[in-house]
Structure 1
Amino acid sequence: MSPHPSATAYLTRVRHQRTSPLKHGFSYPGISYLVDLDKLGSSEHPPELPWWASVFTRFKASDHLGDPRGSWRDNVTAFAATHGIDLEGGTVRVLTGARSLGYVFNPVSIYWCRDKHGVLSCVIAEVHNTYGERHAYLLRTDDRGRARVGKDFYVSPFNDTDGEYTMSLPEPDDDFAVAITLRRADQRPFATTWTGRRVRGRGDVLKAAVATPLASYLVTTLIHLHGVRLWSRRLPIQPRPHHAPQEAV
């Protein structure tokens, strides 16, 4: 593998823990990639991997924020610009899942955006729900990668848009640990953690990609199955509000 790959693979574990008004939790394994959007360029799969591996590891701009006809990098740059942030000449790295066997579902993708001087300008948390909607939160993290932001997006049918997220989003290295907690005044927190360990070597990356081709299918299935379990325990369904795309590009 190239010493400067466009995408670094991580074997991951995601955990969800609901503590109010019902206690409920589940976890699942997967594979995620830290993608350098400048090195990926216009390719849809990492050039470090053979062409046939794109069946298992493919990235498309249309799976993420912005104009599906534009480039992934340009869409992120345009979104940041709507918040007065200039990413021209800088770098953008995103932690996300890959399209595999024609399908991808990314509950959250995290972007670390640096300006032309190498300074971290912002972090973007792009959240998707199972209704085909997405929302991007632009965050100003502190020196430990922490940020707070109001909840503006309907993700679970059991949670409305009330409350505030506290997030811990340090940049990945050999491993990573992302934590997102939803806090409300009248309830105990709902927490999600996303951890991963880097996969080294071209052969091991290929093995990991081929071994977990159904990761997105697994995530979607588990979300629906656990939703049915919560509904069967009489957890109230919250109405889904209209969500207007806010990327402005």
Structure 2
Amino acid sequence: MTTGKSIPHHIPAVTMHKRRGAVSHGFRYGVDYVLIEPEVDQPTPLLFSRNRFNLFSVHDIDHGGPLKQGRGAVWAREVMADHGLTDPDLKLYLLTQPRFLAYVFNPVSFWLIYRGTGLIAVIAEVSTPFGDRHSYFCNDGNFAPITVKTRLEKPKALHVSPFQEIKGGYEFGFGVLGDQIAIRILHRNGEEGVIATLSGPRQPMTNLGFVKAALRRPLGALRTIILIYWQALRLKLKGATYRTRPTPPEQEVS
């Protein structure tokens, strides 16, 4: 990824989920992400805004902290400092689904932390339809550059799906290249678990790109939450065990 002149990107991506275990299940959907540098005043097309209403937008209140109480990049810098990353020259990017009109729901967003041109850490910000959020600070321990071959492991801490236990751990893989995004999250829990991927080309933001996105997926982020409930119904009908929501972790980041 180039960290010279900051240009916001639109990623018309595909997400894939595959459940392993006694009740197998899978789906594949198109989804729109954007990649922005939230601390920089970037030039954006007419149909995209920061912290104000538009067809597509990203608001600080949606990220960095509890759901609907976010503090944006200020929060991310505090998390970085807690992990020893205090160099002001470190670059911070946000990869996320934008609001569509006024609605937003992000199952997972990613704060990308760069030293020069090297990705050295990622904060994976996981949110649930139950109103909970927990973030995972991912690095190799020495802040070596994260490549497409790097695998970073974290224990699972948050109840994300009522059909999955809070057991086992995640294996994260981050492929953030100049022309594409390819992220892989594997939840391991014995013989069960879930593989989730997000992949797509990086394109400069344009009004035409956002118009095409709105026509392809006219409900935007609202479509995401509808599909989550649809897949939950399919799993229930297949006989998957439903688990009630436990108390979320008090710790905001692990």
Whole-Å separation in 1 of the counterparts to 2:205 and 2:62: 27
Q: Distance in 2 between matches of 1:126 and 1:52?
A: 22
Distance 2:33 2:64 in 1: 18
Matched, 1:151 2:150: no
**Count of residue pairs brought into register by the alignment:** 239
Alignment pair present for 1:241 and 2:246: yes
Q: Name the structure 2 match of 1:130.
A: 129
- The DSSP-based 3-state class of the residue aligned with 2:27 is strand
Residue type of the alignment partner of 1:48: T
Q: CA deviation at 1:86?
A: 1.6
CA contact (8 A) 1:92 1:114 kept: yes
Q: Greater CA deviation, 30-39 or 70-79?
A: 70-79
Task: Give TM-score scaled by structure 2 length.
Answer: 0.83
Q: Give the AA of the match of 1:97.
A: Q
Post-superposition CA distance 1:116-159 (Å, at most 9, x none): x6654421111111111111100114443421111111100011
Give the 3-state SS of the residue equivalent to 2:16 in structure 1: strand
For 1:216 and 1:32, the matched residues in 2 are separated by: 10
Aligned residues: percent identity? Answer: 26
Contact 1:87 1:114 in 2 (8 A): no
Q: Tell me which residue corresponds to 1:12.
A: 13
CA distances 1:86-139 after superposition (whole Å, capped 9, x unpaired): 253321112111011211111111121125x66544211111111111111001
Q: How does 1:106-185 map to 2 (within 5 A)?
A: 106-115=106-115, 120-141=119-140, 142-143=146-147, 144-185=149-190
Is the alpha carbon distance of 1:238 and 1:201 closer, same or farther for their aligned partners in structure 2, counting shifts above 3 Å? closer
- What one-letter code is carried by the residue in structure 1 that aligns with 2:202? R
CA shift, 1:27, in A, is 1.4
The answer for the alignment partner of 1:25 in structure 2 is: 26
* Equivalent position of 2:203 in the other structure: 199
| Corresponding residue number in structure 1 for 2:99 | 99
* Unaligned segments of structure 1, at least 5 residues: 41-45
Give the aligned CA root-mean-square deviation in angstroms. Answer: 2.5
Aligned residue for 1:224, secondary structure, equals helix
Aligned pairs (5 A) from 1:71-110 = 71-110=71-110
| Alpha carbons 1:128, 1:135 under 8 Å: kept | yes
For normalisation by structure 1, the TM-score amounts to 0.85
Preserved CA contact (<8 Å) 1:33 1:95: yes
Tell me which residue corresponds to 2:220. Answer: 215
Structure 2 residue runs without a partner (length 5+): 141-145
Instruction: Return closer, same or farther for 1:5/1:56 CA change in 2, 3 Å cut-off.
Output: farther
Q: Counterparts of 2:78 and 2:54 in 1: how far apart (Å)?
A: 29
After TM superposition, give the deviation of residue 225 of structure 1 in Å.
Answer: 1.0
| Residue 204 to residue 5, structure 1, CA distance change in 2 (3 Å) | farther
Contact persistence 1:112–1:171 (CA under 8 A): no
2:56 is matched with which residue? 57
